[in-house]
Amino acid sequence: MSLSADFAFTQGSLQDYADCARRFELRFIKRLRYPALETQEPLQFEKRTRQGVRFHKLVQQHLHGVPAEALTASLADDGELAGWWATYLARGLTGLPAARYPEITLQTQLAGRRLVAKYDLLALAPGGAAVIVDWKTGARAPSKAYLSGRMQTVVYRYVLAQAGAHLYAGESIPPERIQMDYVFVAAGGARLSLNYSAAQMGEDEALLSGMIAAIERADAFALTDDVRRCRFCSYRSLCDRGAPGQLEEFDLDEYENEDEEEALSLDFDQIAEIEF
Amino acid sequence: MRAPLDAKVWLEGMAGCGKTTVGLSRVIGLLERGAPADSILIFVPQRSMALPYIAALRGRQAYRGGQVWLQTIGSLSLRMVEMFWFLVAAEAGFKRPRELPNFLSLELVQYFMTRAIEPLVDERDYFASVRIDRPRLYSQIVDNMNKAALVGFPISEIGSRLKAALANGVEQAHIYDDAQTCAMAFREYCLARNLLDFSLQLEVFRDYVWATPQARAYLRGRCKHLIVDGVEEDNPASHLFLSDLLETCESALIIYDRDAGFRRFLGADPASARRLRDSCELKATLDETLVMGAQVTALGAQLAAQLGASVAGEGDVDPRPALIAEAQRYHPEMVDWVARQVDMLVNERDASPNDIVILAPFLSDALRFGLADGLARLGIPVRSHRPSRALRDEPAARTLLTLARLAHPRWALPPTDFDVVFALMTAIKDLDLVRAKLLTEMLYRQGRLLPFSEVRSTAMQARVTFDLGERYDRLASWLNRYLEDERSDAIDIFFRRLFGGLLSRAGFGFYADVDASNTAQNLVDSARGFRWSLDFMRRYEADIDLGLDYVNMVDRGVIANFYLRDWIADAEEGVLIAPAYTFLLNNRPVDYQFWLNIGSEGWSRRLYQPLTHPYVLSRGWTAGRMWTDDDEQHLSRETLGRLLLALTRRCRKAVYLGYSELSESGYEGRGLLLETIQALLRRYARAGQHV
Ligand code: SF4
């Protein structure tokens, strides 16, 4: 079995491959959904992920013109989220270029495949800076070196350089103008900025096309040797890799579920087919 | 195809003339001309109609930039109401406008409808004379509310409209009054709790969100190029929105199929769609079929003419070579015959399985299974489109639900022996029916599974085998430990714990099983959606046992009754087995069609829906008119005529008719389709005698 013809790579799927080839295979080639618990404290885990989702929605609403006061008034039930929100309002948008595109998806082609990036926010000044903003709601801000190596950083910068021209007055965005900002709203709004360059872009392209080619070629997908990566993986029982990990060791910012969208909107479409 | 890319174009014609191909080339043309992908909105009545667009866009290698938007009125209104909720919630009448909205999936609408109106129905003895089960009754009330929103009249008029056209007696009038009261009660219930069913979501979008400058700026700023396919299948609410958007977009292509409009049930309104024609500066027609051979064209035209439609086309061509039939006595013989014919087409005539569809008005599980099994034995791949999957009937889901009952004795819902046998067989790999029965008989006592060591007879132990006994023990002790620890996990968490902790491990039934795991995931999703909505409800209502309520609702068929996700993951290759209308809305022609059960009334007759009516609640219905038997008959003929035309226009080579004298349920069917085909064949036979 191999990838379906129209499979699109994302930072999430590539990070899965980087972490564990077997996980990539199970999730994207075998399309096996495995509902085992990720952590030993499932409700706590769920609460944190839902808070993160709600925070992203708040920002999106705000950037589409819903007044901040109306949004603030909706947070009476969640002091923690209200704190992140206040941080965002105070510092989240400081210094960003004026043309802002929240929740935007760009795609490009690489090694015969689509490569897709879904951004929290792009802020651009044609001819000037092109800033990618990614909101993080985890309690700790990791190191710059760690973030530089994440597939999110690699994919987001590369795709913007390749596919952002229509947002930049029709000109390709020079890599040197691109900057990726991780903003940690639960850590007082700490901002970690990563610049870009043509040389880095060349390296990233080689890395990404190498990964895609390796995936296309592979006929076996090995289990990771680093069992720490299994702690929060839902396939543990399949791979016989122990019990779920503790939530306090888990970096929630690494957890992104890219395929849970639109379930509701599809839902109504099915009525027609049930009732005919 | 040559229409300028900056014009607003109305394109109409019959199916099979290449209208969607024009739509595709327009999208590609726009992208090639440099239009940003995210300035293009492809708007369809139902997602399946967009599949050709998705395939074309995904296949385009050179395309970089944003993403083309693909929306239905359902997906768009959901997105917009969610985004601009805090601007409109108070004005729209919600009692807690500072709190989040709670959008209801279909199953949750059923659940909340039950909760909101069942006390009323019981107390006042509503619908006593209507003989259908409560879930179906409630779904018709939901349907009435959806129609009001889609067509654009207030829900307070549902009862009076139905009464004026359909009530021929006090009893009937009462039923419509009751339906009205229930709709109002449900609406009040939703407004008080920030719940949005589809009808309310659409009304809030249409009447409030779309009126805000922020929402208008957002959509108008984004949608510069509009492609609408299948506009005749869409509803007046969509048409109103599109006509507004047409004023500001830079270009548009609106595609209209003249002989369609099948989704009446969902408010499809071709006449309302046609009004968009006036907003387009260029009008074009495509009427030359690129699909059908002359005999299939003649077949469609002559069958439709037989039913009273006036259709241009091939009146003097004998369609019989394109119509292959063989009568069988019994239904299974028909199924065998179909499988053999498909085999012949694939293996002797080199037909691709992808170019063959097997259609029936409804597809029972037995029929689907019989066909799939027959074809699989001949080595022919099959794909099946049945989005409405009864999740609770899936073995993996049934097993999880049974094990949940065993682990929660306080619910006082001990599973039956039969359910326990079934659950053991599914949960423990390689455990057969005989051993599962033995284990159940020996060890299932008063709602609990006793340990394997309680089997005293060594002969019995050996018969079960120690290996299976050991795995049985692990399952029993997992459940008993859970019970003794007095855990009270949320039900979805319970399913996940059991799945990850045991059932998905080597030696158990869900291990590396894609179908079982996906079903388990669907059940978890359903139960979690339920919990989230109910968690939210706890602010308003007294405590309830979520797990118990969930299992009860599943039993009653209110939830977990259908689930969509697998539809998307369905196989892409093979002979398609589908309900006829599902095939039509997939927007894809084939070489060969099999029409099964042609004696069935289902080909022409509406479902029995005593509380609702697609025509009386449509925009074109004249107030004060009564719906008569003649109307019903006329409708049957017209519906069948349209359907046959639509099917043949998606068929290149031939139609095979599956007919058995005795139907699946053992009755002799004499439906309108059979009558029409016989009349056609008789006409040719008579003409042959005169030659
Ligand atoms: S459990 Fe470990 S080895 Fe197995 S898929 Fe997950 S990360 Fe890979």
Read off the pLDDT of residues B313-343 as tens digits, 9 standing for 90 and up. Answer: 656 789 999 999 888 888 899 999 999 999 9
**Lowest-confidence range among A254-258, B247-251, B310-314, B522-526?**
A254-258
Please work out whether the CB of residue A23 comes within 6 Å of at least one atom of ligand 1: yes
What pLDDT was estimated at residue B62?
59
The answer to whether residue A129 sits within a structural domain is: yes
If you measure from the C-alpha of residue B500 to the centroid of ligand 1, how many angstroms do you get, rounded to a whole number?
Answer: 13
CA distance B492 to B190: 25
Of the partner residues B66, B75, B361, the one whose CB lies closest to the CB of residue A166 = B66
CA distance to partner chain B, nearest, from residue A269 (Å):
6
The answer to whether residue B248 sits within a structural domain is: yes
What pLDDT was estimated at residue B310?
72
The answer to whether residue B89 sits within a structural domain is: no
Do residues B547 and B402 both lie within one domain? yes
pLDDT of residue A270 exceeding 50, the answer is no
What pLDDT was estimated at residue A69?
96
pLDDT of residue B347 exceeding 50, the answer is yes
- Final residue before a domain boundary, out of B258, B286, B314: B286
CA distance A201 to B93: 52
What pLDDT was estimated at residue B61?
58
Strand partners for B448: B445
CB pairs under 8 A between A and B: 189
CB B77 within 8 A of CB B205: yes
If you measure from the C-alpha of residue A234 to the centroid of ligand 1, how many angstroms do you get, rounded to a whole number?
Answer: 8
- Final residue before a domain boundary, out of B286, B311, B345: B286
**For residue A65, which amino acid is it?**
G
Return mean pLDDT, chain A: 88
Return mean pLDDT, chain B: 88
CA distance B509 to B492: 19
ipTM value, please give it: 0.90
Do residues B574 and B449 both lie within one domain? no
- Angle B404-B410-B412 (CA atoms, 0-180°, nearest 5)? 80
Identify the band that residue B690 occupies on the pLDDT scale cut at 50, 70 and 90: low
CA distance to partner chain A, nearest, from residue B86 (Å):
6
The answer to whether residue B450 sits within a structural domain is: yes
The answer to whether residue B91 sits within a structural domain is: no
CB A137 within 8 A of CB A186: yes
Q: Which residues are CB-contacts of B472 (< 8 A; sequence separation ≥ 6)?
A: B424, B428, B431, B439, B443, B449, B452, B464
The reply to whether A74 touches chain B by the CB within 8 Å rule is yes
Please work out whether the CB of residue A168 comes within 6 Å of at least one atom of ligand 1: no
Q: Torsions phi, psi of B445, nearest 5? A: -130, 125
The answer to whether residue B329 sits within a structural domain is: yes
CA distance A17 to A31: 14
pLDDT: is B589 or A21 the higher one?
A: A21
Residue whose Cα lies nearest atom 4 of ligand 1: it is A239
How many domains is chain B built from?
4
Note the Cα B41 to chain centre separation in Å: 24
Please work out whether the CB of residue A234 comes within 6 Å of at least one atom of ligand 1: no
CB B627 within 8 A of CB B176: no
CB B592 within 8 A of CB B359: no
Token reading at B207: 């009447």
Helix axes B433-443, B417-427, angle to 10 degrees: 130
What is the value of pTM for the model shown?
0.87
Write out the residue range of the structural domain in which residue B47 sits.
8-80+212-286
Cα atoms in the 13 Å half-sphere on the side-chain side of A259: 16
What pLDDT was estimated at residue B568?
41
If you measure from the C-alpha of residue A137 to the centroid of ligand 1, how many angstroms do you get, rounded to a whole number?
Answer: 25
DSSP notation for B361-426? SS--HHHHHHHHHHHHHTT--EEE------GGGSHHHHHHHHHHHHH-GGG--PPPHHHHHHHHHH
Q: Which residues are CB-contacts of B157 (< 8 A; sequence separation ≥ 6)?
A: B148
CB A61 within 8 A of CB B80: no
Residue whose Cα lies nearest atom 3 of ligand 1: it is A223
Please work out whether the CB of residue A54 comes within 6 Å of at least one atom of ligand 1: no
Q: What is the CA radius of gyration of chain B?
A: 28
Inspect the interface and report whether the beta carbons of B106 and A109 lie closer than 8 Å: no
Smallest CA–CA distance from A240 into chain B, residue: B505
Do residues B534 and B426 both lie within one domain? yes
Reported as a single tens digit per residue, the pLDDT across B145-193 is 999 999 999 999 999 999 999 887 888 888 999 999 999 999 999 999 9
E-assigned strands of B550-645? 575-579, 590-595
The answer to whether residue A170 sits within a structural domain is: yes
Q: Torsions phi, psi of A120, nearest 5? A: -70, -45
Please work out whether the CB of residue A232 comes within 6 Å of at least one atom of ligand 1: no
The answer to whether residue B115 sits within a structural domain is: yes
Cβ-Cβ contacts under 8 Å, A237 against chain B: 499-501, 504-505, 511
What pLDDT was estimated at residue B560?
60
The reply to whether A70 touches chain B by the CB within 8 Å rule is yes
Do residues B513 and B417 both lie within one domain? yes
pLDDT: is B537 or B68 the higher one?
A: B68
Cβ-Cβ contacts under 8 Å, B493 against chain A: 37, 42-43
The reply to whether A53 touches chain B by the CB within 8 Å rule is no
Inspect the interface and report whether the beta carbons of A107 and B64 lie closer than 8 Å: yes
pLDDT of residue A33 exceeding 60, the answer is yes
CA distance A146 to B114: 52
Inspect the interface and report whether the beta carbons of B34 and A237 lie closer than 8 Å: no
Please work out whether the CB of residue A235 comes within 6 Å of at least one atom of ligand 1: yes
What pLDDT was estimated at residue B389?
56
Do residues B657 and B542 both lie within one domain? no
Please work out whether the CB of residue A231 comes within 6 Å of at least one atom of ligand 1: no
Smallest CA–CA distance from A161 into chain B, residue: B65
pLDDT of residue B689 exceeding 70, the answer is no
Find the CATH number of the domain harbouring A221: 3.90.320.10
Inspect the interface and report whether the beta carbons of A237 and B505 lie closer than 8 Å: yes
The reply to whether A69 touches chain B by the CB within 8 Å rule is no
- Mean per-residue pLDDT for B74-94? 96
If you search the block for the tokens 């879904």, which residue do you land on? A118
3-state secondary structure of B564: coil
Inspect the interface and report whether the beta carbons of A269 and B581 lie closer than 8 Å: no
What pLDDT was estimated at residue B202?
96
Identify the band that residue B431 occupies on the pLDDT scale cut at 50, 70 and 90: very high
If you measure from the C-alpha of residue A46 to the centroid of ligand 1, how many angstroms do you get, rounded to a whole number?
Answer: 21
A78 DSSP assignment: -
Of the partner residues A35, A61, A262, the one whose CB lies closest to the CB of residue B495 = A35
The answer to whether residue B86 sits within a structural domain is: no
Reported as a single tens digit per residue, the pLDDT across B548-598 is 888 888 877 766 655 544 434 344 679 999 888 888 877 788 999 999 999
pLDDT above 70: percentage of residues in chain B: 93
pLDDT of residue A244 exceeding 90, the answer is no
Token reading at A122: 């792009």
Token reading at A239: 């791979």
Note the Cα B397 to chain centre separation in Å: 20
The answer to whether residue A3 sits within a structural domain is: no
The answer to whether residue A86 sits within a structural domain is: yes
pLDDT of residue A264 exceeding 80, the answer is no
pLDDT of residue B68 exceeding 80, the answer is yes
Sign of CA dihedral B573, B574, B579, B581: positive
Residue whose Cα lies nearest atom 7 of ligand 1: it is A230
Do residues B680 and B573 both lie within one domain? yes
Write out the residue range of the structural domain in which residue A197 sits.
8-271
The answer to whether residue B2 sits within a structural domain is: no
Strand partners for A131: A123, A179
What pLDDT was estimated at residue B543?
61
CA distance A132 to A118: 11
Inspect the interface and report whether the beta carbons of B581 and A42 lie closer than 8 Å: no
- Mean per-residue pLDDT for B394-411? 93
Please work out whether the CB of residue A229 comes within 6 Å of at least one atom of ligand 1: yes
Inspect the interface and report whether the beta carbons of A272 and B263 lie closer than 8 Å: yes
pLDDT of residue B512 exceeding 90, the answer is no
CA distance to partner chain B, nearest, from residue A229 (Å):
17
B48 DSSP assignment: G
CA distance to partner chain B, nearest, from residue A144 (Å):
28
What pLDDT was estimated at residue B57?
83
Token reading at B171: 């009893």
- Final residue before a domain boundary, out of B286, B303, B330: B286
Do residues B30 and B169 both lie within one domain? no
Note the Cα B373 to chain centre separation in Å: 23
Smallest CA–CA distance from B266 into chain A, residue: A272
CB B621 within 8 A of CB B615: yes
How many domains is chain A built from?
1
Cβ-Cβ contacts under 8 Å, A275 against chain B: 143, 265, 607
If you measure from the C-alpha of residue A41 to the centroid of ligand 1, how many angstroms do you get, rounded to a whole number?
Answer: 20
What pLDDT was estimated at residue B312?
65
- Mean per-residue pLDDT for B203-208? 97
Inspect the interface and report whether the beta carbons of A274 and B501 lie closer than 8 Å: no
CA distance A107 to A160: 8
Do residues B521 and B661 both lie within one domain? no
pLDDT of residue A249 exceeding 70, the answer is no
pLDDT of residue B275 exceeding 70, the answer is yes
Please work out whether the CB of residue A224 comes within 6 Å of at least one atom of ligand 1: yes
Of the partner residues B217, B497, B514, the one whose CB lies closest to the CB of residue A32 = B514
Note the Cα A195 to chain centre separation in Å: 18
Do residues B357 and B398 both lie within one domain? no
